[in-house]
C-alpha cells in the first residue's frame, strides 16, 4: 500500500520510506516512480524477512557503526547493507521475483 504523506516527509531529505506494511512518499507524482517504489518494496521484503523489529534494530545498529567509522551521516546511510541492496537493484523491476532469502547479507 502506498500512502502519500507530504508534510512529515517534507522536513526530511527523503522521497519515500518503507515502514511495514506501508510505503510513504512525499510527492503524489512519485506514486508512478517505479524505481522509487521498487526500492521501497525491497525494504518491505527485507523487513518481512527479519520479522520487522529485527530489521529496524539491525538498521540502526549498522547505521551507527558506519557513522562512528566514517564520521559522515550520508556515507553511513549509504553503507547500510539494506540500502546497498536496495540501491543496487532498484532499477531491476523483476528483482523481487528472483531475489533469494536474506540477500542483503552479501552487501554486509
73/50 Cα distance (integer angstroms): 24
Highest mean pLDDT among 10-14, 21-25, 89-93 belongs to 89-93
The percent of residues in the chain predicted with pLDDT above 70, rounded, is: 99
The answer to whether residue 10 scores a pLDDT higher than 90 is: no
The answer to whether residue 11 scores a pLDDT higher than 90 is: no
The answer to whether residue 2 scores a pLDDT higher than 90 is: no
Q: Number of structural domains, the chain?
A: 1
What's the grid cell of residue 8?
A: 512529515
User: Who has greater pLDDT, 53 or 11?
Assistant: 53
User: Who has greater pLDDT, 14 or 49?
Assistant: 49
Domain of 83, in residue numbers: 2-107
Amino acid at each position: 500500500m502506498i500512502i502519500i504523506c507530504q508534510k512529515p516527509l517534507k522536513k526530511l531529505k527523503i522521497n519515500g520510506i518503507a515502514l511495514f506494511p506501508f510505503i510513504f512518499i512525499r510527492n503524489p507524482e512519485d506514486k508512478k516512480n517505479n524505481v522509487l517504489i521498487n526500492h521501497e518494496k525491497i525494504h518491505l521484503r527485507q523487513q518481512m524477512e527479519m520479522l520487522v523489529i529485527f530489521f529496524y534494530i539491525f538498521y540502526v545498529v549498522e547505521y551507527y557503526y558506519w557513522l562512528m567509522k566514517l564520521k559522515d551521516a550520508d556515507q553511513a546511510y549509504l553503507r547500510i547493507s539494506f540500502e546497498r541492496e536496495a540501491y543496487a537493484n532498484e532499477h531491476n523491476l523483476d528483482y523481487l521475483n528472483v531475489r533469494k532469502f536474506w540477500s542483503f547479507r552479501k552487501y554486509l
